[in-house]
Amino acid sequence: MGIPSEKGRQRISKATKAVWADPVKRQALLAARAASEDARRKSLSKAGKKAWNNPDTRHRMIAARTPQQRRGTAAAGKTAEAMRAHWAQPGIRDARSAAIKAGWAKVVRRQKKKRVLTDEQKAKASERNRLWKATNVDHVQRKSRAYYETNKDVIKKRAVQGNRKRRAQLAMVAFEDFAFCEIADRDGWVCHICRQTVLPEQASLDHVIPISKGGPHTRDNVKLAHLLCNQRKGNRL
């Protein structure tokens, strides 16, 4: 095939410009070029893998490396060796782990840090909660019932303790916070009125000097009693 003449080259140039000016043909030409380039890369990659897997060819490829490539490989090897020596030193890994843990602990503390709201923000949040509860009454009731069924004993104890505390505050007498079992274990589960054994379902706390008579709600003024004995005694001294 001979070299095209000047007119032939002009005709080829005009045809190429016409193809390039058409968007559809231009996209098709670019796609064909990309497919051709991908095929060429894949063939080179396959050929390179095949050559590298052959020991003789691999030695020739290594020998044919330029001095710059050899220096880069040697530097990479030295860097890897230096890193291995660094991590082999005693205490390096522990120090790194401690630093990482300290960093994460700092992040967790920052996340757990309580946000301080202004009075205006508190009022807006309270209003949002009130509106949400007003529009989701059934959901709130279901959640409340489920919580009560799961924590029935704790709620009752808190209610009784809160009632006693309110009575002591209204009477302006001394108040101590203590557990029911503490008094029961101290008195040996024996009623101080009838001197009989008290079962857990029959137990109650009796104020020796009633709160209504000025008695404090303290350990010294509280004793274990049957609920029935306590009701019969009433507020008598």
Instruction: Render pLDDT for 88-126 as a digit per residue (tens, 0 to 9).
Output: 787 877 888 888 888 888 877 777 776 777 888 888 988
Q: What per-residue confidence (pLDDT) applies to 98?
A: 84
Q: What per-residue confidence (pLDDT) applies to 4?
A: 47
At 153-166, the pLDDT tens digits run: 776 666 666 677 77
Three-class DSSP category at 190: strand
At 18-76, the pLDDT tens digits run: 777 777 877 887 788 778 777 766 666 666 777 767 777 777 766 776 666 666 666 66
At 217-231, the pLDDT tens digits run: 888 888 988 888 888
| Yes or no: domain 148-233 corresponds to CATH 1.10.30 | yes
pLDDT above 80 for 199: yes
Exposure class string for 167-197: b at 16+ Cβ within 10 A, else e = bbeebebebeeeebeebbeebeeebbbeeee
Q: What per-residue confidence (pLDDT) applies to 108?
A: 76
CB 42 within 8 A of CB 50: no
At 133-157, the pLDDT tens digits run: 888 888 888 888 887 788 777 766 6
Q: What per-residue confidence (pLDDT) applies to 45?
A: 66
Q: What per-residue confidence (pLDDT) applies to 67?
A: 66
At CA 172, angle to CA 170 and CA 175, rounded to 5? Answer: 100
Q: Which of 182, 185, 186, 234 is nearest to 206 (CA)?
A: 234
Instruction: Name the region of 91 (left: φ>0; alpha: ψ -120 to 50; beta: rest).
Output: left
Partners of residue 217 on adjacent β-strands: 175
Q: What per-residue confidence (pLDDT) applies to 158?
A: 66
- Rounded to 10°, the helix 6-21/23-53 angle is 100
Q: What per-residue confidence (pLDDT) applies to 72?
A: 62
